[in-house]
Chain A
Amino acid sequence: MPPRPPLTWSSLPALALRPVPASLALRPVPTSLAPHTQTRGIRSILPVDLRLSRWDQDNPHAKSPTALSTDKALERKSYTLPHRTGVIARKKGMTAIYDPETGVRTPCTVLQLDRNQVVAVKTRKKHGYCAVQVGFGWRKPQNCTRPELGHYAKARVAPKEELHEFKVRNEEALLPVGALLGPSWFKEGQFVDTKSNTKGHGFTGGMKRHGFSGQPASHGNSLTHRAMGSAGGSQGSGSRVHPGKKMAGRMGNESHTIQNLKVLKVDEENGIIVVNGCVSGPKNCLVNIQDAKKKPWQATDLGLPTRPLSLETVVEEAVVAAAEPVGDAEVVAAA
């Protein structure tokens, strides 16, 4: 390795390109004055204060093309983002509901919520987008890593079986950490989207996975009845298999959203939400439920809650739960 040249003032770039002293850059300058806009040079080499997030709109250096384009993108997308966070539920099975008046039978899926709590929130300022991280169920502390335990301890909630981030439209939709979300978060008659993993089918052939036709059973055919056939042309198409060619492979167990399912029943006592029709996935799979994206926002019509149970209730519940023996309340992680 050649010896590095000594760092001297003479070797630094011209004065105009020299970094602004950190003490100056720290102070957010009023935009009207905007001294940084008059600095000549390449913007990307200007020093960026690391203590201020690049998503922070008060940070003058955050007015970079990246931040602006992200802002614009979020603004464009905002009308498709839900006004409220969603919850995580477990699919328990299907049944039907009869209307006693008309006798109409409605097939439905029964979902059960379990200890949905807000574990963290993501803000536009710090993370660049708004989201609510919701936890589901309970996991043994022995089965958590120390960083996970620290994350839960910071939120003052018990370790969760599953975490999911629900994107929301703006900061108003962010909820206090630790808040408990029950089925009454949804109202009967409203529409929701459910997102869950479909049933896994394992490694399947082209006929089952993509609906290929297969080959004839007879007419001199031997041993190839369900094969996928040709994978593409020869020289004309480059003598290669084109990207995205449908082939045999693992089928199912992939995320699938079903939009606009009507909520038929809400049972706060037993944690039950009943939705119209079917939801992807096997029984006991986890389902994310959120307000329907493609329906008008019905908060006022249906009286949808925008704030969950008060935090006092959460604490109360925790105290009651603490009285019951649930295992080690305190864990020394080194053990």
Chain B
Amino acid sequence: MAFVQQSSPHAHSARPTSRVMLWVLIAALPGLLAQTLFFGWGNLINVVFCIAVAIASEAALLKLRKKPVAFFIKDNTAAVTGLLLGLSLPQFAPWWVSAVAVISAIVVAKQLYGGLGSNPFNPAMVGYALVLVSFPVAMTTNWAEPAMLWDGAPGFGETLATIASGQQTAVDGWAMATPLDEYKHKITTHTAAEVLNHPTFGEGVAKGWEWVNAAFLAGGLLLIGLRIITWHIPAGFLGGLIVMSLAFGNNADLYAPLSLHLLAGGTMLGAFFIATDPVSAATSHQGKLIYGAGIGILIYLIRTWGNYPDAVAFSVLLMNFAVPFIDHYTPPRTYGHHKARRGVPGSQG
């Protein structure tokens, strides 16, 4: 009888990529739940639609590239890209905005670069940035007014009809500027107290948003606990943002306060779910800290002095550019060596 010939190791842990991605999907559920509770059905509809479009476009491209379709679809990575876009896009974003974002993410940012593992940029953020610069109106006027699902939020049917209608701007009275947007534009002419009177801020930091961010934080901690992500990128991300805010933004009458930076907008979703995309992030622990810190710092810079109220997508993409550079200079020190071997073969340091 012929024995199986195999190179060691002969044992393998049972956590394939598909399961890793499934855990990411599961860990995002509290955030999605919070979004639905506080902002209505929009995000849920977007998530389902985006995942469907993501899987369809992934399958189409795999077929075009003559790759085994089922084998790659089963890794759940396209679903995660769809999920992230569904969570980040405005609740009432017309369907074609979501579709353009997802298709450009999967087709251009992922498959045209060689598919899973070969994309230098975070696909979801490429899609998001593309629609953000291409459809500024649709991307800024469709954020749902914070209203409890059972108390004033538009119903499921109405929301679905709005999204499906393809209208550039949502029904009047449903949508509202996001807290970051509101603060950024009002603070130049008003005091902090006046700005915070706006209903979008509510009683706490930012009505609804604070809970959504808390839920994503909880999901992120679950991912760290499951060792699916390490703490380095979120820590760098939040650390960079906090340091910048404390250093430059301590006057609430001039700049958005730290609490708003952390709990409004896409901060926690970005820190735990988007920036941690392993394919486009830095490799070593030190590199991950630098990479995360770079994103946090850029977010503060763009939110405060740039043109956009939120800046996760641009910051992530900019730091994606820097990843090869960061990796180059941050290899870990190997056991038995005095110091890390930086750079390329032949170079010093």
A and B part of one assembly: no
Residues of A within 8 A of B (CB): none
Residues of B within 8 A of A (CB): none
